[in-house]
Structure 1
Amino acid sequence: MRIISGLYKGRRITAPKKLPVRPTTDMAKEALFNILNNTYYFDDISVLDLFAGIGSISYEFASRGTTNITCVDQELGCTKFISETAQAFEMPLQVIKSDVFKFLEQTTMKATIIFADPPYAFPVEAFSKIPQLVFQNDLLEDDGLLIVEHSKHTDLSDLEHYNYSKSYGGNMFSFFNKPETETAE
């Protein structure tokens, strides 16, 4: 895996083979960040990376100037690897070892971008729990986005707050956001 852009562009990160992860492909990452680059100034946002795995998405945000990044994963090997990599690169990542669903039920942390990359084998019911908890607990800032990565064989378009999806090879990103509130005239 490599960091695509920013301060750490081109740096390769090799995770131990024993970790149960499926990092986002470089092609999909590049496409995702091209979308985000047109909407956000990376140094002005906060990011919550759920099912963070080896931290691929978090490193990309940090490389582009984001300083408020929280990574959540329940796998000790993953959280340890992210912490060690962040320290080696001097990246400002906060790493939390927790079950993502329990974390979402208990946290009051708000973020501009919440990125979730759960196991592709999750049933749709488990996928649907992510936006449900994010919006029920008001964890997304008003101008924020929830992005859920999943297989192209999983359809999340019927979920509440769904906006659109983009497909890159076998990867798909579904985007969710708060409905815009109407202002009184």
Structure 2
Amino acid sequence: MRDLRPTSNKVKQALFNILFDVQDKSFLDLFAGTGEIGITALKKGAKPVYFVEIEKKRAGDIKKKASKFSQDFKIISKDALKFLQNTPNKFDIIFADPPYSYKNYKKLIEEALKHLNKNGIFILEHRSNHSFNADEERKYGDTVLSFWYRGEE
């Protein structure tokens, strides 16, 4: 199993303060890990929430936790990039928190942006030694949240 680096409470709180209202928004949690980001979205009324976590045990743990709050979610135990490349679904909010050693950022960003609905938001959590030409960046210690906003076409 790969190392788990859950999003800190400070960053999670900041993220949901920025997103403000996720009620009835479709939400994709890539590299879900513990599932805390997607579960917080579920608690705040996002639906449906998709969790993509390659580790089957973690995916099972997420399912147990998430089902306490809602049934409007789906767990996919698959590589996040492969999921994006093969899903026809689009989302209002996509959150990705790949391992800090992740090598495919460029492809991940490219694929995620293809799967945003109008007015959708893609958020990438990463280390502060990376910069990706996002629409907005918010820094929290050595963690950065990069935001891409998709307007109306």
Q: Secondary structure, in 3 states, of the residue corresponding to 2:62?
A: helix
Amino acid paired to 2:111? L
TM-score by length of 1: 0.77
Alpha-carbon deviation of 1:19?
Answer: 6.7
| Structure label with greater radius of gyration | 1
Distance 1:178 1:66, change over 3 A: closer
Q: Is the 8 A contact 2:138 2:144 kept in 1?
A: yes
- Partners of 1:23 and 1:110 lie apart in 2 by 25
Residue in 1 that maps onto 2:42: 62
CA distance in 2, matches of 1:76, 1:20: 14
Q: Which residue does 1:152 correspond to in 2?
A: 128
State the 1:150 CA deviation: 0.3
Q: Alpha-carbon deviation of 1:49?
A: 0.6
1: CA distance between counterparts of 2:150 and 2:112? 10
- 1:29 and 2:1 matched: no
Partner of 1:46: 26
SS of corresponding position for 2:89:
coil
Alignment of 1:98-113 (within 5 A): 98-113=78-93
- Normalising by structure 2, report the TM-score: 0.92
- Runs (4+) of structure 1 exceeding 2 A deviation are 87-93, 177-181
Q: Highest relative contact order (Cα 8 Å, sep 6+), 1 or 2?
A: 2
Distance in 2 separating the partners of 1:68 and 1:31: 22
Matched, 1:169 2:141: yes
Q: Residue 111 of structure 1 contacts residue 140 of structure 1 at CA under 8 Å; is this kept in 2?
A: yes
Equivalent residues, number:
153
Q: Aligned-pair RMSD on alpha carbons? A: 1.7
SS of the residue aligned with 1:66?
A: coil
